[in-house]
Amino acid sequence: MAQFHLKFEAKDLSPYVMLVGNPQRAEQVARLMEDARLVNDYRYLLVFTGTHGGQRLSVATTGMGAPSTAIVVEELCNLGARALLRVGSAGGVDPNVDAGDLVVATGSIRDDGTTPQYLPLSFPAVPDAELFHLTMETAREMAPAAKHGVVISGDAFYRNYDPGKMSLMIQSGVKAIEMESGCVFIVGQFRGVRTSALFAVDGSVTKNAIKPEGAEGLFKHAEEQSIQIGLATLTKASAMGL
């Protein structure tokens, strides 16, 4: 049955869903699908269902941050989702990660207020092993320079870490920072669905150069690559019956 925020029926959703924060990105994904149909626009949480590579897929908007993401993931699970792949943007933390790069998350540092309501902070936020490997494999096929590693999922977009904490994150090999993957991983684990996440990098937090002038083209190219990788990964997952 229709949910509080996703006002459509289970029959309108594919079990294989790409998650995006930006509704404009959901529209961008839908344009790459065949026969994509808008099944939800309530609260501008756009959800489209169509086909790609002969497989039925959906793309859903989560909004920004963990609280909104948790609501959408919960309701998608109620509607029959089996595999959720977040495709979004992130800022580089590793000095070698910069605008135009792609990062596949091996795990997320939970710096949000929502996921502790599900599982204690001692519980790791990690993607499903099989969906992660499929995501990484597809990323390397389509973008050989794609990186992988731990990311930070934080709530406060405009509050920077102090230099000591950021230095610790860099020393520990953290690749990037964003706002939703930790929540996707934890709620997915809690609800028993497969999850994964990859990001197009729009700049560097470490270098204080988020969305720097002149780098928009690099990010747009990476964003397009990430969407193509996401679609290809979910198409494979559906065909394999993951």
> b/e per residue, 24-33, with b = 16+ CB within 10 A?
ebbbebbeeb
Q: Using 50, 70 and 90 to split pLDDT, how confident is the model at 125? A: very high
Q: How far apart are CA 205 and CA 218, in angstroms?
A: 16
Q: Average pLDDT, stretch 80-100?
A: 97
Q: What pLDDT shows up at residue 214?
A: 83
27: Cβ contacts below 8 Å, ≥ 6 apart: 46, 48
Q: What is the DSSP letter of 201?
A: E
| DSSP string for residues in 101-142 | -EEEEEEEEEESSSGGGTS-TTS-B---HHHHHHHHHHHHHH
pLDDT tens for each residue of 165-198: 999 999 999 999 999 999 999 999 999 999 999 9
Tokens, residue 69: 């993401």
Pick the CATH number of 10-240 from 1.10.760.10, 3.40.50.1580, 3.40.718.10, 3.90.420.10: 3.40.50.1580
Cβ-contact 48, 30 below 8 angstroms = yes
Specify the pLDDT at position 2. 94
**Residue 93 in this model has a pLDDT that exceeds 90:** yes
Quote the pTM value: 0.97
Q: What's the Cα-to-Cα distance from 169 to each of 172, 179, 203, rounded to whole Å?
A: 5, 16, 17
Residue 215 has pLDDT above 90, yes or no: no
Give the containing element (helix H, strand E) for 92.
Answer: strand 83-92
Residue 123 CA to residue 110 CA, distance in Å, equals 10
Whether residue 1 is predicted with pLDDT greater than 90 in this model: the reply is no
pLDDT at 232: 98
